[in-house]
């Protein structure tokens, strides 16, 4: 039965945009889950990130990211009622004010830009999330002026967004889109190993930066892994709560 329908309707493109976006499944609870998952992973990966940065930078990336996200969680937990955009703007402002080096302004800008793009909408679908993530990438590139191949966080962020967008184009869901984004971010992170750094502190090393995984691309891949985890956890919580149908039309 399903097979007949699938054969009659060519893949992708015909999926009505409005139909997908009608399932507005990202809300404040989901964003809080994501931020919490990022914080937990940064705590677990703190020493690893610092090790990566010790090889081609100044050995502070893990410590900085962990300190920043600890502050973000404290600030976000204190905010009871907030839209997803407000939460991300709080996270961005907190990051800028608590994290030094390059990571503070870059990630701070990424969160602020995503939060700005979302405005004060209370729930939204995968297409709106893509717009917010695109705004993050633009913000990061405005601040850091890095392109793909420079051995920076952009090497994970940019392919992740392309993979996410491709999933939506072929009729994928939020779940498949964040899964594709995570896989592409990890591949982009690994692809930084043979690169020579052209931006940031690692670029001072010239050819000696080759053979090391970029710490910023690594923390960005971590954030996409956390996003996928949060989307899955959020869906499970909805099912557990008995909300088996996607919320539509709200
Ligand atoms: Mg550093």
Q: pLDDT tens digits, residue range 172-220?
A: 999 999 999 999 999 999 999 999 999 988 998 889 989 999 999 999 9
pLDDT at 239: 80
Whether residue 244 lies inside any domain: the answer is no
pLDDT at 23: 64
pTM as predicted = 0.88
69-105 as b/e, with b when 16 or more CB fall inside 10 Å? bebbbebbeeeeebbbbbbbbbbbbbbbebbebbbbb
Per DSSP, 246 falls in state: P
CA of 197 to the centre of ligand 1 (A): 14
Whether residue 10 lies inside any domain: the answer is no
CA of 202 to the centre of ligand 1 (A): 9
Whether residue 13 lies inside any domain: the answer is no
Whether residue 14 lies inside any domain: the answer is no
Whether residue 142 lies inside any domain: the answer is yes
**CATH number for position 53:** 1.25.40.340
pLDDT at 24: 67
Does pLDDT of 121 surpass 60?
yes
Q: Count structural domains, the chain.
A: 1
CA of 53 to the centre of ligand 1 (A): 6
124 phi and psi angles, rounded to 5 deg? -155, 170
pLDDT at 11: 46
Distance from C-alpha of 218 to C-alpha of 192, rounded to nearest angstrom:
9
Window from 1-15, 140-154, 161-175, 218-232 with minimum mean pLDDT: 1-15
Whether residue 11 lies inside any domain: the answer is no
Does pLDDT of 3 surpass 50?
no
Whether residue 18 lies inside any domain: the answer is no
Region 70-85 average pLDDT: 96
Q: Domain limits at 136?
A: 23-238
Q: Is the Cβ–Cβ distance between 111 and 87 less than 8 Å?
A: no
Whether residue 6 lies inside any domain: the answer is no
CA of 59 to the centre of ligand 1 (A): 5
Interior angle at CA 89, CA 85 and CA 90, nearest 5:
120
């Amino acid at each position: 039965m399903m097979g007949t329908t699938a054969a009659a309707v060519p893949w992708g493109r015909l999926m009505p945009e409005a139909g997908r976006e009608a399932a507005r499944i990202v809300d404040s609870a989901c964003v809080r889950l994501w931020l919490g998952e990022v914080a937990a992973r940064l705590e677990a990966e703190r020493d690893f990130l610092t090790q990566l940065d010790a090889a081609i930078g100044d050995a502070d990336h893990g410590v900085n990211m962990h300190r920043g996200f600890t502050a973000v969680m404290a600030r976000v937990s204190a905010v009871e009622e907030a839209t997803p955009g407000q939460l991300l703007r709080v996270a961005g402002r907190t990051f800028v004010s608590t994290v030094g080096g390059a990571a503070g302004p870059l990630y701070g800008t990424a969160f602020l830009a995503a939060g700005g793009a979302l405005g004060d909408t209370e729930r939204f679908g995968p297409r709106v999330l893509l717009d917010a993530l695109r705004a993050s990438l633009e913000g990061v590139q405005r601040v850091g002026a890095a392109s793909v191949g420079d051995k920076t966080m952009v090497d994970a962020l940019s392919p992740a967004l392309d993979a996410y967008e491709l999933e939506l184009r072929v009729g994928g869901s939020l779940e498949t889109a964040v899964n594709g984004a995570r896989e592409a971010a990890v591949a982009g992170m690994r692809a930084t190993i043979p690169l020579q750094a052209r931006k940031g502190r690692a670029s001072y090393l010239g050819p000696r930066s080759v053979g090391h995984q970029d710490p910023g691309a690594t923390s960005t891949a971590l954030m996409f892994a956390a996003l996928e985890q949060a989307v899955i956890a959020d869906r499970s919580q909805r099912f557990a709560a008995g909300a088996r149908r996607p919320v539509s039309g709200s």
